[in-house]
Amino acid sequence: MNCPILNPIRFFDTQPDYQNTWPNIDNITQRIQNIDGVWPSPYYKEWLSGKDLILQFETIEGDSTGLKVYKYNEVTESYDLNSTINPAIITPAGWQGNNFLKYTLSLTIGTYYLQFTDGYTSDTFVVTDDIQQRKRFIEIKCSNSQNDYGCIFDNFTFTQYLSGQLLISAPKNDISALESDRGNITKLRSTPIRLTSLQINDIHYTLVDHVNMIFACDQLTVNGVTYQTTEPPTIEPIDGSDLVNIVVSLSQTNNNYYYAKSI
């Protein structure tokens, strides 16, 4: 089973024995222990309760397809099997190659990990409904005009939730002007452009590739507004932790010169 990097939850193969295997970007899990007294949950990817978590996988013949959901039990301090999710096949008609599967999960508040029978396992992640946490989430929806990045995009949109904020950037105008032979300037056209800086805060460094893949897609909606990226994301490591801050420069694509109505 292959897990596209665009999936909201990261999967990795059975954790290798690092005495015999060199660590690399694909086999290092998110850290789950305390660092300098910081509670470990900020190192987990987070999701909102009441929002379907949808995952895609490329399956190879012989792969197990039942996805087991394990939820943390605070009484026993262990993970219990919560449910098993079966997939829907989303392979396009006439597709040449491996099949693609879609899993839809509806999860309540708690801490989880996912696992296939053959041991292919997700990072631990948190499902929350705390109002203060909801306020700091950025909702990103991404799709692509053609099937790419190991995903099927036919009528499919990935949804992501990341902790961060949208900040208004310096205004910009795309101006065309004509200068006469006497040096007089005549403005021919002026197009106001809305620019935004998306700051993604305190994300685990193993998810940097995930964020970069999101903003490689050519169809992006951030908090209900459509944008395009103007340059690659920039990364700022946070001293003393496995976390980073990421800044993405965005340009609004549907600027119709009206204030947006509430959604």
Tokens representing 19 are: 């005495």
Average pLDDT of span 157-164: 92
Q: What is the DSSP string of 203-215?
A: EEGGGHHHHHHHT
Asked whether residue 150 carries a pLDDT value surpassing 80, the answer given is: yes
Compute the mean pLDDT over every residue in the chain, rounded to the nearest whole number: 86
Asked whether residue 248 carries a pLDDT value surpassing 60, the answer given is: yes
CB 227 within 8 A of CB 196: yes
Question: In angstroms, rounded to a whole number, what is the distance separating the alpha carbons of residues 27 and 11?
Answer: 9
Q: Map 42-93 to HEC letters.
A: HHCEEEECCCCEEEEEEECCCCCCCEEEEEEECCCCEEEEEEEECCEECCCC
pLDDT tens-digit profile of 81-112? 999 999 999 998 888 888 999 999 999 999 99
pLDDT at residue 21 in the model: 79
11-252 has which CATH code?
A: 2.60.40.10
CB 132 within 8 A of CB 159: no
21 vs 78 pLDDT, higher one: 78
pLDDT tens-digit profile of 180-210? 778 788 777 778 888 899 999 888 888 899 9
Asked whether residue 140 carries a pLDDT value surpassing 90, the answer given is: yes
pLDDT at residue 32 in the model: 53
pLDDT at residue 5 in the model: 93
pLDDT at residue 115 in the model: 94
pLDDT at residue 169 in the model: 76
179 vs 42 pLDDT, higher one: 179
Cβ-based neighbours of 258, under 8 Å, separated by 6 or more = none
Amino acid identity for residue 115 in this structure: Q
Q: Tell me which residue of 149, 180, 198, 172 sits closest to 7, measured CA to CA.
A: 149
pLDDT at residue 262 in the model: 61
Question: In angstroms, rounded to a whole number, what is the distance separating the alpha carbons of residues 14 and 19?
Answer: 15
Q: What is the DSSP string of 242-261?
A: SEEEEEEEEEES---SSPPP
Asked whether residue 214 carries a pLDDT value surpassing 90, the answer given is: yes
Question: In angstroms, rounded to a whole number, what is the distance separating the alpha carbons of residues 257 and 103?
Answer: 40
Average pLDDT of span 37-63: 82
pLDDT at residue 31 in the model: 65
Domain residue spans of the chain: 11-252
pLDDT tens-digit profile of 5-45? 999 998 887 666 778 878 788 877 776 555 555 555 667 88
Average pLDDT of span 134-162: 91
Asked whether residue 1 carries a pLDDT value surpassing 90, the answer given is: no
Which SS3 state, helix, strand or coil, does residue 131 take? helix
pLDDT at residue 40 in the model: 59
pLDDT at residue 62 in the model: 81
